Amino acid sequence: MEATIGGGRRSSSSRAYLTEAATRPNLTIRVEAQTQRLILEGRRAVGVEYRDAGGLHQVFASGEVVLSSGTYNSPQILMLSSIGPRRQLEALGIDCVLDLPGVGQNLSEHPNLIMVFGAKKRVGLTKWLRYDRTAAAAARWFLRHDGVFATNSAAANIFIRTRVGLDRPDMQMICMSVNNTATMWFPGLTPPPLFGFSARVGALHPLSRGAVSLRSADPGEPPRILFNLLQAPEDMATMTAGVRACRRIYGTHPQKELVGGEFFPGSAVQGDAELAELIRRNATHRSHPVGTCRMGLDDLAVVDAKLRVHGIEGLRVADASVFPEVPSGNTNVPSIMVGEKAADLLKGREPSVASQRDERPEWTFAGH
Ligand SMILES: Cc1cc2nc3c(=O)[nH]c(=O)nc-3n(C[C@H](O)[C@H](O)[C@H](O)COP(=O)(O)OP(=O)(O)OC[C@H]3O[C@@H](n4cnc5c(N)ncnc54)[C@H](O)[C@@H]3O)c2cc1C
């Protein structure tokens, strides 16, 4: 499975980009600092107000302001800066400089259900959770940055179509060779965890939409997040189909030879209604929130194709909040791609020839 790991360490965008750039004379990094709001002159963004241990500060832009606080906080900062749905802002006593009703709307996320299967043999990562083996693996990682702790422990990333006729996969399963609730154990003192496998089953193109809204005009207050996961019946149908597809895969050679029964939800849960009830009670999200400053040209769009906020000069948003909908997979690399694109736009670089081609990729995934 592909992962952003370099030299045995998971590589954040901070590690991958900022570490190298940190010494540039034209870059100042402020940490432990919280942006309170953007500074506007009329309908032009000219700077940022932030708070740190030393108090409140203002910095001004010679060019443009780029907002990149993620799907929850970018809309929060826009709204705290008087840009957003007028009624919501005025209800909290915030003057509305620009009525942009789409700010905070269109929250799109992958629903996620973790299925657990037992193992017939003592295979997989569980054996590394015995405390002495954990200590040895941790020491190895610390000294050499390799071994079992230099991976993200996902064994496979499966994309499938749950129905005939779909032009692209609608379901992702992230397969781990460990039971998701397994913890370290101490022989003689605590029982070993269940040796098993887990599969994170998630619909790739959910229709349900949530929203991020302000709780208060105080930037120190987190925003309100409402997912509305599985609100659309289509999303639930995809999830139940995904559970069944996962059962088929784990019941097929070669997994079949390793799997010793379904622990969760359990093979007794079969009917559509039963499965739906179970999914509704147990599904979570995948930490792939996007869409609250959606790109587009309609009335509910927040940014244009060049990431510029509609109606405000000198302001772009560059993070996962601009995606119109959640991508068909994990969101870290697509978010980094938005950052790369923003850098090109700021520097006035032309799109590469490849990205100008109008070609749809040919799907080569096997159908069911
Ligand atoms: C637990 C977890 C696991 C994940 N695992 C994976 C994975 O395995 N693979 C994958 O592809 N994706 C994964 N993701 C998703 C991925 O991390 C996100 O899609 C991606 O980071 C989104 O990038 P972003 O720039 O939009 O937002 P973020 O990465 O959230 O960046 C926003 C930044 O803004 C800062 N910020 C917010 N508000 C303020 C403020 N007021 N002032 C100053 N700074 C502020 C935040 O601290 C943060 O550093 C995971 C997410 C989580 C939470």
| Domain 5-105+289-348: CATH architecture, name and number where available | 3-Layer(bba) Sandwich (3.50)
Task: Decide: residue 342, CB within 10 A, 0-12 exposed, 13-18 middle, 19+ buried.
Answer: buried
| β-strand partners of 197 | 117
SS3 136: helix
Give the model confidence (pLDDT) of 70-123 as tens digits: 999 999 999 999 999 999 999 999 999 999 999 999 999 999 999 999 999 988
Nearest atom (ligand 1) to Cα of 319: 26
CA nearest neighbour of 121 among 197, 183, 195: 195
Residue for token digits 């980009």? 17
pLDDT for the residue 149: 87
How far apart are the CA of 30 and the centre of ligand 1, in A? Answer: 17
- The residue extents of the domains of the chain are 5-105+289-348, 111-122+151-208+227-285
C-alpha distance from residue 32 to each of 37, 50, 74, 105 (Å) = 16, 10, 17, 28
- Alpha carbon distances (Å) from 284 to 15, 113, 114: 29, 6, 9
Give the active site residues.
288
Query: How many of the other CB atoms lie within 10 Å of CB of 338?
Result: 20
Tokens of 310: 């509609």
Longest alpha-carbon distance in the chain: 69
**Nearest protein Cα to ligand 1, atom 25:** 319
Return the SS3 of 133.
Answer: helix
Q: What is the pLDDT of residue 237?
A: 97
End-to-end CA distance of the chain: give it in Å, rounded: 22
CB atoms within 10 A of CB 177: 18
> What does each C-alpha distance from 209 to 34, 89, 238, 300, 303 come to in angstroms?
28, 21, 16, 13, 18
Order of strands, sheet of 44-52, starting from the edge strand that comes earlier in the sequence: 34-41, 44-52, 55-60
Most informative mutation of 332, 336, 338 for ligand 1 (most atoms within 8 A of CB): 332
For 362, which DSSP code?
A: P
Mean pLDDT of 183-189: 92
Q: Which residues line ligand 1 (CB under 6 A)?
A: 34-35, 68-71, 73, 77, 287-288, 319-320, 330-333, 335
> What share of the chain has pLDDT > 90, as a percent?
84
Residue 367 predicted with pLDDT over 70: no
Q: Work out which ligand 1 atom sits closest to the CA atom of 333.
A: 11
Q: What CATH number was assigned to the domain covering residues 111-122+151-208+227-285?
A: 3.30.410.40
Name which residue sits closest to atom 43 of ligand 1, judged by CA.
Answer: 34
Q: pLDDT digits over 256-305, tens only?
A: 999 999 999 999 999 999 999 999 999 999 999 999 999 999 999 999 99
From 1, 5, 204, 319, mutation site for ligand 1 pocket: most ligand atoms within 8 A of C-beta: 319
Say what the pLDDT of residue 53 is. 97
